[in-house]
């Protein structure tokens, strides 16, 4: 396997300085709007047209822009609605709270107010959890569901030792300081500044991936970021509640599993996992990290398109 080209800091800076602002990267025909739903202002993008709707729910500390590459493909067959969760993107901050129940009701109200009926729903990570709880609490609002970025274990456990360790604390404080600086920087300054967040041996991501990630980071509610230090404390309990909700679903469901700690250099593959429930399909992305779309986009998008075409 040939090695990917590496960049030193000077070369990398030259590369990312040429990356365009997000306004020039988003397709010009995409629409952008806000709606007051569940008592807060919620921002969303949608691809437009009269095709069946698909609602995309991003992961925590991301934003609607994270769906750019996926939505470009799905818009061939659907009107794709990408919602900024509270505390993310241009939606309201978390002044009225942040919880799974609130996230679930936020999306439910957006679907109702936009008149989407029972759309197909695709969620990643935290968005997958929200999609599961949405389909459980409001089965009339979900036609079918894809839950991507689920771990290989049936129920996630807590990891409070990690978040309280000196190494994690040091990383977290540096990351928070970077996010604070990001909000006052120009586009070019942000592009160069974000190089500090890249793994030292990794190649620079392509323009659409890099710019959307940096822009999502710049739009984060810092109060949510500070709250994130405590969000892990009840991870096991929240995971169990999610799995219980998943067990009650009757709509068609596709679960995409991956590994949080894949083995470096080991081959990646995809395998179908036998499900004991007729409405649930499971696919496992072997030796693939949490960001499935970044590592195995072609099989990832094929499973999504095939599932939604069938359901």
Distance between CA 31 and CA 37 in Å, rounded? 18
User: What pLDDT score does 22 carry?
Assistant: 97
Q: What is the mean pLDDT of residues 157-163?
A: 56
Q: For 99-130, write each residue's pLDDT tens digit.
A: 999 999 999 999 999 999 999 999 999 999 99
- Comparing CA positions, the residue from 248, 232, 201 lying closest to residue 12 is 201
- Residue range 186-228, pLDDT digits in tens: 999 999 999 999 887 788 899 999 999 999 999 999 999 999 8
**What pLDDT is attached to residue 158?**
44
- What percent of the chain clears pLDDT 90, i.e. is strictly above it? 81
Q: For residue 16, is pLDDT > 70?
A: yes
Q: Identify the pLDDT of residue 261.
A: 82
Which pLDDT value is given to residue 159? 52
Determine the pLDDT at residue 63.
98
Measured CA angle at 137 (ends 131, 143), to 5 deg: 55
Whether the predicted pLDDT of 304 surpasses 90: yes
Considering the chain, what percentage of its residues have pLDDT values greater than 70?
A: 93
CA-atom Rg of the chain in angstroms: 19
Choice among 55-59, 123-127, 181-185, 235-239 with the minimum mean pLDDT: 235-239
Q: What per-residue confidence (pLDDT) applies to 237?
A: 84
Of 166, 167, 164, 219, the residue nearest 190 (C-alpha): 219
Confidence tier at 230 by pLDDT (50, 70, 90): confident
Q: Please count the other Cβ atoms lying within 10 Å of the Cβ belonging to residue 250.
A: 11
Query: CATH fold of 9-310, please?
Result: Rossmann fold (3.40.50)
Structure confidence at residue 153 as a pLDDT band (50, 70, 90): low
At residue 42, the pLDDT reads 98
So what's the pLDDT on residue 160?
Answer: 54
Edge to edge, the sheet with strand 144-151 lists 31-37, 40-46, 79-83, 53-57, 120-124, 144-151, 253-258, 280-286, 269-273
Q: Where do the structural domains in the chain lie, given as residue ranges?
A: 9-310
Spell out the residues 6+ positions from residue 76 whose beta carbon is closer than 8 angstroms to its own: none
Vertex 276: Cα angle to 275 and 281 (nearest 5): 30
Please tell me the predicted confidence (pLDDT) of residue 161: 61
* Average pLDDT in the chain: 92
């Amino acid at each position: 396997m040939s090695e990917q080209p590496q960049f030193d800091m000077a070369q990398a800076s030259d590369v990312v300085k040429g990356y365009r602002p997000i306004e020039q990267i988003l397709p010009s025909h995409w629409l952008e709007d806000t709606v007051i739903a569940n008592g807060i202002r919620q921002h969303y993008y949608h691809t437009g047209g009269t095709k069946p709707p698909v609602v995309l729910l991003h992961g925590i500390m991301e934003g609607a822009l994270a769906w750019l590459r996926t939505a470009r493909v799905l818009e061939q067959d659907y009107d794709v609605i990408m919602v900024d969760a509270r505390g993310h993107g241009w939606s309201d901050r978390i002044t009225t709270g942040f919880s799974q129940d609130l996230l679930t009701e936020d999306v439910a109200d957006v679907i109702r107010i936009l008149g989407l009926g029972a759309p197909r729903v695709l969620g990643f990570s935290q968005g997958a959890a929200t999609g599961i709880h949405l389909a459980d609490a409001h089965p009339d609002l979900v036609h079918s569901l894809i839950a991507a970025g689920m771990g290989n274990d049936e129920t996630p456990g807590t990891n409070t030792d990690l978040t309280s360790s000196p190494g994690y604390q040091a990383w977290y404080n540096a990351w928070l300081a970077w996010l604070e600086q990001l909000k006052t920087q120009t586009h070019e300054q942000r592009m160069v500044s974000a190089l500090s967040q890249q793994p030292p041996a990794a190649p620079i991501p392509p323009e659409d991936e890099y710019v959307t990630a940096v822009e999502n980071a710049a739009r984060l509610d810092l109060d949510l970021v500070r709250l994130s230090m405590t969000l892990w404390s009840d991870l096991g309990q929240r995971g169990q509640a999610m799995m219980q909700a998943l067990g009650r679903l009757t709509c068609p469901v596709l679960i995409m599993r991956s590994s949080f700690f894949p083995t470096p250099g080991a081959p990646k593959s995809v395998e179908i996992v036998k499900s004991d429930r007729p409405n649930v399909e499971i696919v496992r992305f072997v030796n693939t990290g949490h960001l499935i779309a970044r590592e195995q986009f072609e099989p990832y998008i094929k499973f999504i398109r095939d599932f939604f075409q069938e359901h």
